[in-house]
Amino acid sequence: MSPRIKWLMVAGAVVFGLYGLDSLYRSWIEQPHLQITAELDDLTSKLNTAKSEQLAAQKQGKRLDAYAARALPDDPQLARSLYQQWLLNLVEANELTSASVDAAQPVRVEIRSRTKKGKRQTIGHRINFSLRGQASLSKLASFLNDFRKAGHLHKIRSIALNPVGNEGRLDADLTIEVLCLSASTNKDTLGDWQLVDDSSVAKSTFDDLVRRNLFARGFAKALYEIELKAITSNREGVAQAWFRIDSRGTTKTVAAGNQLPVALHDISVLEVLNNQVLVRVNDEPHWLHLGQTIGQVCAPKPEKGEQR
C-alpha cells in the first residue's frame, strides 16, 4: 500500500470521525438543548398567558363588584317591573306625551367559568325595553340627560327621531338594554347610584344640541320670525304679550306662565313687564324688548352666506 493511499485512508477516517462526532453532538447536546429551550419558551408563554388571564379575571371581578351596586335586582321579573316603572316616571317627569314602555322577556347572560374548564355560568339576565313617546327637542334632551346620569346598568342601543306635523314635537323611538346580575346588592329596589359631577357631560352639550335644532330649516329660522309686537292688559288687568310667530304675520297673545305655539322650539312666557318680556327658549331665559325677535336675543348670528 502506497503512502498516498494511507494518507487518503487517514483523511477519510478523520472525516467520518468528525461527522460521527457532529452527529453525536447534535443528537446528544444540540437537539435536546433546542427541545428544552422550545419547551421553556412554551411554558413561559403559557405562564404569561395565565398571568394575563389572572389579571383580566381580577379586573373583571373588581368590575363586577362595582357593577353589583348598580345592577338591577337578581330576580329578572322584579327587575323588569321596577325598571319599567322607573322609565315611566322619567317619561312623566320630562313631559313626554303619548308614551308607551314595553319590556321583552329576560335573556340569560353567561360567561366562561373561571373554576370549571369548558363550562359556562349564568351571571344575570339582559332585558330589552322599547320606549316610544313625543316631546319637544328640549324635553327630549332633558330626558336623555337624566337617563345618562342615572347609575343603573342600562344603555340606549338605538334611537329614531321623526318630526310630528308642524307642532314642534318629535316622535322618539328608543331601544334600551338593562342588566340584572346575580351579585346585585339591590334585592328589592333599584339602586340610587348617580354619576358624579366630575364625570358628567357639561349641560352646555345638550343646550347646543337644542339650539342647533337639526329638524329646523336653516339655523333656527323660526326664532328670527318670532317678534314681540305689543304688550297689553286684558279686562282682568292681566298683562299679555303679542307675538308675530311666522312670516305670514300670524299673531298670538300669551300671558305669563303660558306656552308660545311654535314649531320645533320650546318657548314659554315667564314674566310680562311694561316694555319687555322674559321668555324661556329651550330651557334658557332671555329678555325680549318690543320690536325684537327671539332669534336676535338668543340665537348665534349666522355665518356669512348661511341661510337665516
How high is the pLDDT of residue 224?
83
Burial class (CB in 10 A: 0-12, 13-18, 19+), 55: exposed
DSSP 250-272: -EEEEETT-B---TT--EEEEEE
How high is the pLDDT of residue 199?
47
Average pLDDT over the chain reads 80
pLDDT above 80 for 12? no
Are residues 67 and 84 in contact, defined by beta-carbon separation less than 8 angstroms?
A: no
User: Which of 2.30.30, 2.60.40, 1.10.3470, 2.40.10 would CATH assign to domain 221-298?
Assistant: 2.30.30
- Three-state SS letters, 42-65: HHHHHHHHHHHHHHHHHHHHHHHH
Q: What is the pLDDT of residues 23-51, one digit of tens each?
A: 777 777 777 777 888 888 888 888 888 77
How high is the pLDDT of residue 266?
76
DSSP 127-163: EEEEEEEEE-HHHHHHHHHHHHHB-SSEEEEEEEEEE
User: Which of 3.30.450.20, 3.30.70.60, 3.30.465.10, 3.20.20.70 would CATH assign to domain 76-211?
Assistant: 3.30.70.60
Backbone dihedral region for residue 208 (phi beyond 0: left; psi -120 to 50: alpha; all else: beta): alpha
| Percentage above 70 pLDDT, the chain | 79
**Average pLDDT rounded to a whole number, residues 232-252:** 88
